[in-house]
Structure 1
Amino acid sequence: MTHTVLPHEVPALLDRFPDARCLSLDCFDTLLWRDCHAPVDLFTALPGVARAQRVGAEGAARKARALAGKGTEVSLAEIHARLHPNGSAAGRAQSAAEELAAEARHCHGFAPVVALMQAAKARGMEVVIVSDTYLDAAQLRALIAAAAGANVAALIDQVFCSSKFGLSKGAGLYGQVLKKLRHAPHEIVHLGDNFHADVEGVAPLGVNAVHLVQFADEVRQRLRLEASADALLHPHCAPKARALQPHRAALSLAEPLCGDAAERLGASVLGPVFHAFHHWLDGEAAALEAAHGGRVHKLFLMRDGYLPLRVHRELGGTDGHELEISRFTATAAHFTSDAAITAFVEDEIGLRPTTLARQMLLPEERIASLLEPLSMEDGTQALLKETRTGPFRKALLRASRAFADRLQAHLRATCKPQAGDTLMLVDLGYNGTVQNRVAALLASRLKVHVAGRYLVLREKEVTGLDKRGLIDARHYAPEVLEGFCANVALLEQLCTKAQGSVVDYTPDGTPLRGPNDIKQQQSAVREAVQQGCLAFQRAARNAVVRTPCDHAPAMWREAAASVLARAMFLPLPAELAVVEAFEHDVNLGTQQTVPLFDRAVAARGLKQRGLFYMNGAERMLLPAEIDREGLATRLSLMVHRLFDPPFAYSDFGQGGVALDVTLVDPASGQVARRQVQATPTHDGFYTAAIPVGEGRFAVAAHIGQLAEWFEVESAVHVPVADFISGKHEALRRETVAHAAPEGIGRMADRLWHSPAADGHLLFPPPADSRDEPVLLALTFRPLVLRQTRAAAGQTTPAAERTVA
């Protein structure tokens, strides 16, 4: 009979079989789990051996056994003999020993199965291992002891390996095992993860075969994509396992118990990331205490540090504090000199004048009288003039000093630091602006050391401050860090606390917060996501049984980076459905919120500009906006953002189509005919960039010569400089160009039909005069090509492929 069990149900499995006398277990992915995505990923950890070489050697050994009529089951010694055909016996033995050591380093016991073994022993049952493996019984038992501990290995009475019998479970191994056991088949419970081997190869013999379902299909897909992200982020030049996923065991326990998609998102993405972050923070705190003495105060900066603090407390931490210092309050408190004021103005000029004025504590009535009647450009100039005056600077220095007093009172009320202590500011990142602003201030006033510890750290300047990140420049290139930081808005919204950002403090340090403008529904979803993250932490405490592991910090860091990269650049539909209605609050002393993503904007950009659109697409969460564009497009974005290859627009323009256009000067009546090369963009669309001088030419686009049926996505007049710069559409100075059809009929909103070859669209010059070169950007998709043109060979292969 066949049964199914989920990982969290395993410890109580024997309750289903009260008459069982023997517990039979598969080994790999049942009792022993690896820290990597697939078994072959471990082979990259073998010194002097490429993964493909190790895979090839095993294939050659199995082939040789099959040709000799001995089946396909081989031993580790046979594999390494093929791997080192000219090696000595001692060298081959050493190579096999190195593989066993790598297995021991990257394997661990799955705690629920260990608990099941203990329950079996408590009932007086025999426990056996039946494994399809190239190891022999002694090697497998030794591996179990090395990876999970000698006490786990001691629970095992017998070990049966396919390499000894020359048969896999699917080919009859279990029939041989039954001959060795003193139990009737119905008295045996066999548990394994491989349905073909552990169910189809066992159940027909009358054994109670139980299929361990490690993951749902969506989780398997997510893990595959994480392994793909790992291949990009971690080249694995040194001998070590690739696609490290130490979170697999905890995820298998947590995910099935999540109540909805929001909890699953929290468990599968935030769970592993903040588990890694928590343990890294503990190590960093110990190092700071050893280096500086005194007490280390873990100060989680609100609001984004809220979830890291919850994880800290869930995992037993008692020394974490909520510290409410925002970018706004840190900046308001840091104006200690004229030099600080000047540096701030130089750094931040370009913000809205009203935002900049509030950040420099200008009274609201003065902001209104100084800036409200003015444009942004004039307002900026007026504010600059104001900041240079003596009275303004004296008032700001006085107000900032008082603000710093209130901030200091808040900090003292939070953790009561003593001279010589360390303030460890904990945040998601990404530049450490709060630390930049207040580190010197706090160090001077409180006689403490200030350190910043961040999930992701990408410093814009070489500040020289004590800063580190779980993911930072010690391990990743600047382009990778920039790629992470380009998509942090979603992470911030999922980690934050449902309250307004602090804007000031009372004299005793009580925070004064701005309004919380995020929708209540968004807060409810966020709480469900955070609950899923906490559920992962609880599962992680009860998922793994392993011997001491010195490579755990590096392993979890790589896993966290891969999980983040996958979630940022290759989000799954179910994940995006959770956050589709999310908005992001800017948190610069304003109440501004913006949508996290808008698929329509990205779809239009891709059709107009193709993949090159990504160069100038300054979107909040662009990967979410293109999630329906196919894996190839999303991978292109991922590579572009993480590695910044120097692609140019022309690199994407191969295989265009020639479009005949007529330029007409309404003033002089002059007419010029020319061909323009329309460049392929995305999904069968082309964009023709048609120069119209300084906006004086009308354009007749003879699309009827090219296609009988076609779709027009957009037509806009845009300055040439803006078009070739790759600026995102929202930043380009463009105006819609309205077409007058000649011999062409509009059949639907964007669908046109040209019965004859002389059909064309006439675009008048832009209504506003221009003093710079302008072009008409016409984006269209041929649907049915003009047969006479196709027969004459006047279309390119790329154009022919657009025929619907």
Structure 2
Amino acid sequence: MMKKDTKGDYGQGAERLNMDALSNAIDKASVISFDFFDTLFVRPLTHPEDAFDLLGIQFNIADFKAQRRKAQAEAFRQMTKDGRKEITLQNIYDKFPLPQHQRDAIQQAEYSLELELVQPNKELFPLFQQLVASEKTVVITSDMYFSANFFVDVLKRYGLEQVPLFISADRNATKRDSGELFDSVVSACGVVASQVLHIGDNYLADVQRPQERGLAAFHYVRDVAYLGDKKQCIATSMAQGLLNTDDAEKITPGTFQALGYQFGGPANFGFLHWITQQAKQDAVDVVLFVSRDGYALERLAKNYCADQLPEFHYFLGSRIAFNLALITEENFEQNIPFLLSGSVGLSPGELFERIGVCPPADAVLQNLGIDPQRRISIEDHEVLGQLMFGYRSEIMKVCSRNRRGLFMYLCQSGVKAGNKIALVDVGWNGTTQEAFELAVCPIIDIDVVGYYFCLADTPERQRRSRTLHMKAMVNKESTSSSIVDSVYENRVAVEMFFSAPHNTIIGYRPNGLSVEVVGDPGRAKATGHEQFNLAINEGIDMFAESFTQQQKRLNVSLTPLQTVAPIIELVSNAQWRTNPLIGQIENFDSWGSSRNQVVRFADYFTN
């Protein structure tokens, strides 16, 4: 977006300026001066100083950004003391309290990093090229501590190294302070000041100062969808920066695709690389990415790290399927609480539907004194438990079938006795892993380790950790107790980015030598679930591709925790709960879905 200068020569107001209006302004000038950074060229970061975070990662200096800022401030103080008007990159690194060889290495790395970061602004660069090819005099005027050599190195890539450069670091004059740098432009071009049009993004340096020197000025303001917060993590800056540049035309802001790109992409990509590290460390034989949490993880594994993982599969299963498979005649009664869990608000028949059992006829329920249309409350659990026990023969048919099918499915997935299996789940208390081990280990001798995005600090999880081998990427040791609590409290948001465009798997049906999975569509219509899941996963894939290329180009590799930070930032701020897009989602959890009620996202965290 280009805006007219509110005080400029070409009209009052801050309305948008179209390209025709800009062309008219250019026609009136003999010399066209472009600002460089954030005008002619942009960076795929939300804030320029985020580049310092990338350097800190490269050189493993945790507080590099703070050190770099301090050195620059000290360089400015020295500049003032020496009576100079601008600093250079060398001046900055002279103030670093590091050995000379290390300072030189980081200084060169910053130069190289900025070369790789800057890219043409698609809105202005074609116009710039057109003007250079015309009879107009075109120059670049920039306040920057890099010398002209940097700008020449950038422009060479586009065959534009002949463009005259007016760089503050070389000329000991600036735009921002008093506009003296514009005097150099006017003098070198041999024109009067009013014949020069300067275009730039900074109101003080690119509008006010040139006007004070008699030049014409246009205030250019990029129309970016993602402004960012200066306190945000580097992964968020990189993701939003890509959405503002490389992928701006591919992803529409305010869509599930954009949410998948910003949060689902970093969450899945970072978690996957943590899994890769752990699987190697634990000498895992087979990785099972359990549905639906593992849907994107398995796909990304195929595309980006198949050679770094042992055998792996997208394993169609769930806490429900594994719990049903573990139920036997001997333990049926102790598993009735599971069968009744999450049933408040459901009708009695829906208790059976959600486990794949044909419910008793209404007449049968009525004969037992149970109203088929009654909405279940906690007070009904005793009588419903008795109903479940009385109906156990039908339930056991499904449980036995699931157990046989699960065993066959494991064998078809390459799992053998003696294997070490990694069971991948997003979180939170180890219920899925516990059910899996109780169902599987009695029939096949395997060693199971659970890999989790986050494990909650709850008594339930603590109890399971004493008997189960469980590892979490986000835990109080790797982050903090408060972060773990925030992630767990807002787990429904995290789960949204680890979902799949298919129904929850509730069982298995052997069919000869093959196995069919049984899905649960839920009792209430889940409007648009497949569409929003597909859109989120499209965003995840696009992020992974762009982020991989970006890390390679910038010679930087974020750690898994650094990569997943955007989703931790998201759930650490309850503002996400008011997102209208997320508010559209209904009946996300099929286990608790009912024809009697519509469950919205807000209901999961409303007291």
TM-score of Structure 1 vs Structure 2, range by shorter chain:
0.5 to 0.7
Q: Which has the larger radius of gyration?
A: 1
Counterpart position of 1:283: 273
Residue matched to 1:558: 565
Whole-Å separation in 2 of the counterparts to 1:154 and 1:454: 50
Q: CA deviation at 1:331?
A: 0.8
User: Which residue, out of 377, 382, 385, partners 1:383?
Assistant: 385
Distance 1:25 1:424 in 2: 54
**Alpha-carbon displacement from aligned partner over 1:476-498 (angstroms, at most 9, x marks no partner):** 22332232222233454565445
Runs of 5+ unmatched residues, structure 1: 5-16, 146-150, 231-241, 599-618, 623-727, 729-804
Give the counterpart of 2:168 among 162, 181, 206.
162
| 2:422–2:449 CA contact under 8 A, matched in 1 | yes
Calculate the TM-score normalised by the size of structure 2: 0.65
The TM-score normalised by the length of structure 1 is 0.52
Which residue in 2 is equivalent to 1:245?
A: 237
Contact residue 247 and residue 272 of structure 1 kept, 8 A: yes
CA deviation string 1:1-41 (max 9, x = no partner) = x899xxxxxxxxxxxx9xxxx99883579767476745289
- Name stretches of at least 5 consecutive residues in structure 2 with no aligned partner: 5-25, 27-31
Change (3 A) 1:54 1:412: closer
Distance in 2, Cα, partners of 1:448 & 1:437: 14
Equivalent residue number for residue 620 of structure 1: 604
| 2:579 maps to 1:579 | no
> What aligned pairs does 1:756-795 form with structure 2 within 5 A after superposition?
none
The alignment partner of 1:506 has SS state of strand
Superimposed CA distance per residue, residues 427-483 of structure 1 (whole angstroms, 9 cap, x where no aligned partner): 433334322211354456455554444444436231554544443444222332232
The equivalent residue for 2:408 is 409
Whether the aligned pair in 2 keeps the contact of 1:77 and 1:92 (CA below 8 Å) is no
Tell me which of 588, 594, 600 is aligned to 1:596: 600
Is 1:511 paired with 2:509? no
Structure 2: distance between partners of 1:167 and 1:300: 62
Q: How does 1:399-798 map to 2 (within 5 A)?
A: 400-412=399-411, 415-417=413-415, 424-439=422-437, 441-442=439-440, 445=443, 450-458=448-456, 460-461=461-462, 462=465, 465-493=468-496, 496-508=499-511, 509-516=515-522, 517-521=524-528, 523-525=530-532, 527-537=534-544, 539-540=546-547, 546-566=553-573, 569-571=574-576, 576-588=579-591, 591=594, 594-596=598-600, 619-621=603-605, 728=607
Q: Is the 8 A contact 2:166 2:184 kept in 1?
A: no
Deviates more, 1:54-63 or 1:151-160: 151-160
Q: 1:345 to 1:210 in 2, by over 3 A?
A: same
Change (3 A) 1:580 1:289: closer
Given the alignment, which residue of 325, 328, 331 partners 2:320? 328
Structure having the higher strand fraction is 1
The 3-state SS of whatever aligns with 1:546 is helix
Confirm whether residue 270 of structure 1 aligns to residue 260 of structure 2: yes
Closer, same or farther in 2 for the Cα pair 1:341/1:378, shift >3 Å? Answer: same
Name the CA shift for 1:66/1:162 in 2 (closer, same or farther; >3 Å).
same
User: CA separation in 2, counterparts of 1:464 and 1:382?
Assistant: 31
Aligned-pair distance for 1:408? 2.9
- In structure 2, do the counterparts of structure 1 residues 588 and 190 end up closer, same or farther at CA, with 3 Å as the change threshold? same
CA distance in 2, matches of 1:131, 1:70: 17
SS in 2 for 1:510: strand
Q: Which amino acid is the alignment partner of residue 263 of structure 2? A: V
Higher RCO (C-alpha 8 Å, min separation 6): 2
Compute the displacement of 1:301 (Å).
0.5
Q: 1:278 to 1:60 in 2, by over 3 A?
A: closer
Contact 1:331 / 1:437 at 8 angstroms: preserved in 2?
Answer: yes
Q: Partner of 1:571: helix, strand, or coil?
A: helix
User: Residue by residue, what CA displacement relative to the aligned partner does 1:174-204 show, whole Å, maximum 9, x if unpaired?
Assistant: 664788899xx9xx99997657656888999
- Pair 1:529–1:283, CA change in 2 (3 A): closer
- Shift of the 361–505 alpha-carbon distance from structure 1 to 2, 3 Å rule, reads closer
- Give distance in 1, aligned partners of 2:62 and 2:516: 61
Cα 1:300–1:174 change in 2 (3 A) is farther
| Aligned-partner Cα distance in 2 for 1:465–1:30 | 57
Which residue of structure 2 aligns with residue 258 of structure 1? 251
1:570, CA displacement in angstroms? 2.0
Question: Alpha-carbon deviation of 1:165?
Answer: 1.6
Taking every aligned residue pair, what percent have the same amino acid on both sides? 16
Partner of 1:639: none
Distance 1:40 1:537 in 2: 20
Checking the alignment, whether the CA contact within 8 Å between 1:300 and 1:309 is kept in structure 2 is: no
Is 1:41–1:243's contact at 8 Å kept on the other side of the alignment? no
SS of residue matched to 1:549: coil
